[in-house]
Amino acid sequence: MAKPREKQRFVLDTTALTDSELRRKGEELCDAVRRTLGLIADARIKLNISCHIPFPSVYEELVQFLRRYGCDEELVVEVDTWLVKKTPNRFEVKIPAEVFYEYVKDMRQRMSRGMKVAEQCIWRAAEEAVTLAQRRCERENIKLESTGRIIKDFRAKYRNALRYGTLDSAPDLDVLLLAKEMDAGVVASDEGIKKWAERLGLRFVEGSSFPKMLEEYLRHLHHG
């Protein structure tokens, strides 16, 4: 008698379906999501692989994203059909104190970097304001040309200092908590989720690689 396959579980972040690298040349987002869901469906039926999505946080984020891009309601039905919606048990999942300590330390360092970015932009704004005043420019021109450019630069640098490579939203955390609870792999195209999945000892699969991995599994099934 054949030995039953060990059930594989994956928890998906929104980026596991929506990342731009998942799209083939000329392919629209909705079509790329539908193609990936088709592979997930085949893997579930033929290989006993189940894909989960935290509910309601990541699920609602994904559905809103699809509707914003004009995807039809049939695609939402496919999401409901092939992704298992589950709320992580936030009261029972245990996170090592060392990981929590590292996260707090990381956030403190990021806040310090963010403060330095803010200080540098304030100095730039002050210097440019003085320069423009010396040239007797009109106040409105100073606001539109100089201040606007500095604010845009500040936002980009501040976002990079505080958000890149860390957990910056409740949905991100829910992905890790659910994967930890279910002993499942994490699928995402997010550096923060990747970094902390590794810290928690969770299997991580890049979102752009996940469809290829499923295709390879299915290819071996057909040739087996």
Model pLDDT for residues 6-62, shown as the tens digit of each residue: 689 999 999 999 999 999 999 999 999 999 999 999 999 999 999 999 999 999 999
Q: For the whole model, what pTM was predicted?
A: 0.79
Which of the two residues, 64 and 5, has the higher pLDDT score?
Answer: 64
Type and span of the H or E element at 9: strand 8-12
106-126 burial string, b = 16+ CB within 10 Å, else e?
A: beeebeeebeebeeebeeebe
147-162 pLDDT, tens digit each: 677 777 777 777 776 6
Most distant CA pair in the chain: distance in Å?
89
